[in-house]
Structures are given as structure tokens and as C-alpha cells.
């Protein structure tokens, strides 16, 4: 019994010591710190911007379809068909009208295409007079160049056998020559200034312009060609009381007297006013090739 009391006492002391030790080793409690911020009593809520209302559209406007796009204007082939000829002229014709026949012959693919296009697109009754004139003037000049190329080298168009009577070109179902185009088509259109627009591949001829004729600018082009021919002293010598003219005015006299005398016609385009009583003569015609 004595020993049992001693054992219980020892156990109690050990338990008390252990509890004390456990208490001593516990970490200190973390103290919470509360920060208080003062909030004013008159806080206003943030302003919220309202989205603008869409504009009101009338019911009729909502039902209207968008306006149609304007249609594209079709290309007028009667105007653009001469563009190829225009480029050839600019490339191979000098400002004074000399023609590089050799160069055209050596690079004639575009030239042949143009002649083929002409033969496949003949004027019809729907074409205006200006469109027909531009077409046949360009055709005459291109075929004259073609005639020379076919016979190049040559010193003169007159060295070619029957140069204006050879039917070398088919237009539609007809074979035409240069005389057909000049006398049966162009001269019948009552426009005497064609004689200064079409060429005969010779020095005394009107020069081949380095641009194609076209219906929109035809009036200005014919006027310019006429004035240019008259002012060229190698072809015409004009003064008030004396004129020495190209034989073109002798060969086609009737064409220039449709609305008056030859002097009347000349005075429309001459830089000098010619007297009605001026003495008249004609210059020799030079048929040498204009190359």
C-alpha cells in the first residue's frame, strides 16, 4: 500500500510537470489588427452615361432599296479600233511625215492585225458621217503603206505596177483597191479636206499624220491637215496676188468649188488672204518615196 501511494504521487507530479511544459511551449496567439477607415456620409454613386438613342428612321425609308449602280458604258469599238494604227503611226512616222517603211515591214504583226480588223468591221448605215470618214481615211492610208511594204524597197509608188488599181484587200465580200476607196467612197462624202488627209507615199503628197483620225476630233484634224498643207512652201506658195499650188488643186478642182471658187476655199485655211484676181499656177509634183 505504501508503494502504491508513492507510485500514484509520482505519476501525478509527472503529469503536472508535462502539462506545464506543454503550456510553456504553446505559441502566442496572433493578435488581429483591424483598420477602420472613416467613410463620409455624403457619398454619391458614379454617374452612368446612357447610350444615345438611334436616330429615328421613317418606315418608308426603311423599305426603300439602295440606289442602283450606274451601268458601265460599253466600249465603242468604232473609236478604239484605230488605237493600234495610232500606236504604229507614233512609232514609225516622223513629225515631218517621213515613213520608216523598212521598220514597219520588219515588225508588221500589229500592222497586219489592224488591216484584218478593218476588213472585218466595215461601216454600216448606223455609223455617223464622221465615223465613216475616219474609218476610210485611216484605211486608205494603212493600205497605201501596205502597198509600199509589199514592194519595198522602191524609189516611188509609181514604180509599182498599177499601184492604185491592185485589188489586194478584201473588205466584207468585196476586193477593194485604193481608187475604189478614194473615188467611190471618200470623194462621194462631200468633204474636200480628205485630199489633205489621205496620202500617196510621195514627197509632194500631204504628209501622213502621226496620229490616227477619229470621229470625235475629225473636224479639228481635217482643218489642221489642210492648214498644214497650205503653209508648206515645198507644196504651195501663196501670196495675195500670186499662188503656185499643188497639182492636187488641179486634179480635184471640182471638189474644192462646191461652195464657191477655189480662192474662196483657200482663204478659209490660208494664213494669207488671197485676192480673187490672183494669178495661179501649179508646182511640179515630186513622186519620190517619202521615207
Note whether residue 58 is domain-resident.
Answer: no
Q: Are strands 174-176 and 237-238 parallel, antiparallel or unpaired?
A: unpaired
| pLDDT of the residue at 55 | 60
| pLDDT of the residue at 138 | 98
What are the tens digits of pLDDT across the range 151-198?
Answer: 999 999 999 999 999 999 999 999 999 999 999 999 999 999 999 999
What are the tens digits of pLDDT across the range 68-95?
Answer: 655 554 456 676 889 999 999 999 999 8
Mean pLDDT of 228-249: 98
Spell out the residues 6+ positions from residue 46 whose beta carbon is closer than 8 angstroms to its own.
none
Mean pLDDT of 4-13: 44
Q: Based on C-alpha coordinates, what's the Rg of the chain?
A: 51
Note whether residue 3 is domain-resident.
Answer: no
Note whether residue 261 is domain-resident.
Answer: yes
pTM: 0.74
| pLDDT above 70 (res 108) | yes
Q: Between 68 and 26, where is the model more confident?
A: 68
What are the tens digits of pLDDT across the range 187-233?
Answer: 999 999 999 999 999 999 999 999 999 999 999 999 999 999 999 99
- Quote the cell numbers at residue 199: 496620202
Note whether residue 156 is domain-resident.
Answer: yes
| pLDDT of the residue at 75 | 53
| pLDDT of the residue at 14 | 46
Return phi, psi of residue 174, to 5°. Answer: -120, 140
| pLDDT of the residue at 1 | 47
What are the tens digits of pLDDT across the range 113-149?
Answer: 999 999 999 999 999 999 999 999 999 999 999 999 9
Note whether residue 164 is domain-resident.
Answer: yes
Give CA–CA dist 96/105, Å, rounded: 20
Q: Which residue, among 237, 240, 210, 215, has the nearest Cα to 225 in the 3D structure?
A: 210
- Provide the number of structural domains found in the chain: 1
Angle at CA of residue 283, ends 282 and 289, nearest 5°: 140
Cα 226 to Cα 3, 132, 254: the distances in Å are 159, 19, 17
Note whether residue 40 is domain-resident.
Answer: no
| pLDDT above 90 (res 38) | no
Sign of the torsion angle spanned by Cα atoms 255, 258, 260, 266? negative
Note whether residue 291 is domain-resident.
Answer: no
Note whether residue 175 is domain-resident.
Answer: yes
288 near 156, Cβ under 8 Å? yes
287 near 204, Cβ under 8 Å? yes
Structural domain of 273: 77-282
Give CA–CA dist 96/83, Å, rounded: 21
Amino acid at each position: 500500500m505504501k508503494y502504491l501511494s508513492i507510485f500514484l504521487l509520482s505519476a501525478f507530479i509527472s503529469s503536472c510537470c508535462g502539462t506545464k511544459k506543454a503550456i510553456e511551449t504553446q505559441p502566442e496567439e496572433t493578435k488581429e489588427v483591424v483598420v477602420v477607415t472613416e467613410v463620409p456620409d455624403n457619398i454619391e454613386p458614379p454617374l452612368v452615361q446612357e447610350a444615345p438613342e438611334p436616330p429615328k428612321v421613317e418606315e418608308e425609308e426603311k423599305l426603300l432599296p439602295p440606289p442602283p449602280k450606274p451601268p458601265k458604258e460599253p466600249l465603242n469599238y468604232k473609236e478604239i479600233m484605230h488605237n493600234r494604227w495610232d500606236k504604229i503611226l507614233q512609232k514609225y512616222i516622223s513629225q515631218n511625215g517621213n515613213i520608216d517603211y523598212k521598220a514597219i515591214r520588219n515588225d508588221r504583226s500589229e500592222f497586219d492585225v489592224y488591216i484584218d480588223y478593218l476588213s472585218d468591221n466595215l461601216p454600216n448605215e448606223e455609223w455617223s458621217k464622221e465615223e465613216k470618214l475616219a474609218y476610210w481615211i485611216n484605211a486608205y492610208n494603212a493600205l497605201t503603206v501596205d502597198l509600199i511594204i509589199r514592194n519595198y524597197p522602191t524609189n516611188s509608188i509609181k514604180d509599182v505596177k498599177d499601184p492604185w488599181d491592185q485589188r489586194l484587200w478584201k473588205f466584207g465580200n468585196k476586193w477593194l483597191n485604193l481608187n475604189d476607196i478614194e473615188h467611190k467612197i471618200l470623194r462621194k462624202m462631200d468633204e474636200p479636206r480628205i485630199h489633205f488627209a489621205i496620202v500617196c507615199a510621195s514627197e509632194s503628197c500631204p504628209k501622213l499624220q502621226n496620229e490616227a483620225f477619229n470621229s470625235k476630233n475629225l473636224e479639228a484634224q481635217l482643218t489642221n491637215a489642210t492648214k498644214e498643207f497650205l503653209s508648206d512652201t515645198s507644196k504651195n506658195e501663196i501670196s495675195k496676188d500670186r499662188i503656185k499650188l499643188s497639182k492636187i488643186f488641179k486634179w480635184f478642182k471640182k471638189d474644192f468649188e462646191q461652195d464657191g471658187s477655189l480662192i474662196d476655199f483657200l482663204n478659209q485655211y490660208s494664213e494669207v488672204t488671197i485676192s480673187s484676181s490672183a494669178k495661179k499656177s501649179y508646182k511640179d509634183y515630186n513622186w519620190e518615196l517619202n521615207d
